[in-house]
Amino acid sequence: MSSYQNLLVETLENNILRIKLNRPQVMNALNKAILEELILAFQTEASQSNIRCVILGGTGKAFCAGQDLAERKAFAEGGERPSLQQSLELRYNPLIKLINELPKPVIGMLNGVAAGAGCSLALACDMRLASRDASLILSFVKMGLGLDSGASYVLPRLIGMGRAFELAILGERISATEAERFGLINRVIDAEQLEIETLKVARQIASGPAQAIGRIKSALNYSQTATLTAALQNEALLQEEAAQGQEYPEGLRAFFSKRLPNFSA
């Protein structure tokens, strides 16, 4: 167990890293301290070569309530105007990029509400498994703000422009079941089974070919802004890398031997 003030970070069996936001008294709201710890955890713990999958969750009854508005109270009462651009560029944006560029899957485990930047954080994960009690809300508009932390990029790519516009402009809370129907959530799970089922998925990922999975994530991300020609060229380059590695030969040997491949190395 690593030592953080606002996170619970632990490496589990099968080289699965579990990171939990740990400010349950404020529904795991994001302040400067927890954002800096999240950045550190993804730069160091998650980037270790032995880690094969990351689970990102929250303690208590929420995944993440978004920006901790206690940091904005002085401004609301007539104090100095904060620079939201600086806050985003120093902390939020680097965190989202670290998750996106990490060459291993990040599973968002949504035990409760994901609101505002907390919703953006959930959307930045590669997969989202949610409790039936969970919900998503892009609450930025309620504060007179636009979208941030990558929501404007990810949301329309997941659910299309029309639905993304609706959720962002109305700022309405949607249940986990509705979010699954929209395509924002991969699976909705009974609350008492959420951690168990998330670990099952993580173990399945961790037993797979780590290098190949990293290339798949990279290729999918690359395709978001690439032409078909560029995507095809990128696929060819990545497949050539795979052919030069150890996972492809093991996959072939397993196929011809009629056994399961061993990608643990």
| Contact predicate 172/140, CB 8 Å | no
The enclosing H or E element of 203 equals helix 194-206
Structure tokens at 126: 């590669």
Higher pLDDT, 70 or 234: 234
Pairing assessment for the beta strands 7-12 and 53-58 based on DSSP bridges: unpaired
C-alpha to C-alpha distance for 89 and 153, rounded to whole angstroms: 16
Sign of the dihedral defined by the CA atoms of residues 105, 223, 135, 64, in that order: positive
For the segment 81-139, what is each residue's pLDDT rounded down to a tens digit? 778 899 899 999 999 999 999 999 999 999 999 999 999 999 999 999 999 999 999 99
pLDDT at residue 115 in the model: 97
C-alpha to C-alpha distance for 38 and 87, rounded to whole angstroms: 15
